[in-house]
Amino acid sequence: MCAEGHVPKDMRWRIYLSIFTVFAGMAFVVTWLFFYAGDHSFWENLGVLILSFLIFVGVNAAFWVPFGLRHAPMDESWQVPEKKGWASAVIGVGACLFLIVWLLLYADDYSIYQNLAVLLSVLVVGGGLGAAVWGWKNRGRW
C-alpha cells in the first residue's frame, strides 16, 4: 500500500481478478454439484473438484507470483536454486495429474481402501521425491 492508503495500480487488477476467480470457482463447483455430480461416481466428482481447485490455484499463481517476486527482497538465503525449483514443480504437478487421472478413469474399479492406498502412496512417493530433490542435508533451512 502507498503512504496515502491507496492500492498500487499494478496490484489493483490482481485483487479484482482474485475476487473474480473465487466467485467463478464457487459458481463452477455449485453448478457441477447441482447439475452434473449425480451422473458420476464419488471418485470422479472428487477428481473434478481437485482439478477445479488446481486450476484456481494455477490461475492465481500465474498473476501473483510475478508480482511477489518483483517486490520481494532478493538476498542469497531466500532464493531457490533454479533446477530444484523446477524439479519440485514437475514432481508436484505430476503427482496431481496422476491423482486426477486415477480418480477420473480408474478409481471406480477399486474399493475405497485400495483408492485410499493409492492416494496415500502418491503422497508418500511425491514427498519422498521432493525430499530427494532437495537433499536431506538441506533440512531446517526453511
Using the predicted structure, report yes or no on whether residue 129 has a pLDDT greater than 60: yes
Choose between 49 and 78: higher pLDDT.
Answer: 49
Q: How far apart (Å, rounded) are the C-alpha atoms in residues 17 and 21?
A: 6
Q: Under 8 Å CB-to-CB from 52, ≥6 apart: which residues? A: 25, 28, 29, 32
| Residue-level pLDDT at 76 | 63
Choose between 76 and 54: higher pLDDT.
Answer: 54
pTM higher than the cut 0.85: no
User: Domain spans of the chain?
Assistant: 1-79, 81-142
Using the predicted structure, report yes or no on whether residue 116 has a pLDDT greater than 70: yes
| Residue-level pLDDT at 79 | 61
Using the predicted structure, report yes or no on whether residue 17 has a pLDDT greater than 80: yes
**Residues 133, 84 contacting (CB under 8 angstroms):** yes
Indicate the residue type of 16: Y
* 25-30, Cβ contacts within 8 angstroms, sequence gap of 24 or more: 25/52, 25/53, 25/55, 25/56, 28/52
